[in-house]
Amino acid sequence: YDTYIPQLVEDARAAVDKAVALGVVDRDRIGVTGHSHGALMTVNLLAHTTFFRAGVATSGSYNKTLTPFGFQNERRSVWKARDVYLKVSPFFSADKIKLPLLIMHGMADDNVLFTHSTTLFKKLQDLNKPFDIMTYPGSKHGLLRHADTGLHGYSTIKRFLDTQLDGDAE
């Protein structure tokens, strides 16, 4: 994770440039979404790039210092790689987010503590950033995979992205 942010930015740049070159996307109407570690990536992309017009992050871990003994393929503790934990955590870059973000999280998440979303929510609120939060009482980590929350979650995401990207796609 020493070079995580630069790699993430360059990978996103390459994907966006290729999709635009193929003619399958409008560069001015691209949203980004991610779940779990992908949510961390989504929020980091909104903080560190201008490639996207909005983002949706579900069940993300936004402050890696709250997982001090490693995460994903990072095996060093926060005490051995403090700078990595801080740079990877979009919570510490929330002031750079200028684009709309929808945060979604199940309140009974058994994989990523719900407090990750609530602390990011509070930080964005304090900074007057454009965001919304949708919480699901009783839902666990895979909230979009369950019949009781999935349909509502996906329709919420669609409405949010249609509104933010000025789209009318079905």
Q: Which of 35, 89, 93, 109 is catalytic?
A: 109
Q: Which of 35, 36, 61, 93 is catalytic?
A: 36
Residues 115 and 14: their CA atoms lie apart, in Å, by 33
Known catalytic residue at 28: no
Any bridge partners for residue 131, and if so which?
A: 101
Known catalytic residue at 109: yes
How far lies 69's CA from each of 79, 135, 155, in Å?
9, 27, 36
- Pair 144, 150: CB distance under 8 Å: yes
Q: Which residue matches tokens 């490639």?
A: 51
Known catalytic residue at 36: yes
Spatial CB neighbours of 67, under 8 Å, sequence gap ≥ 6: 61
Q: Which of 37, 132, 141, 146 is catalytic?
A: 141
Active site residues: 36, 109, 141
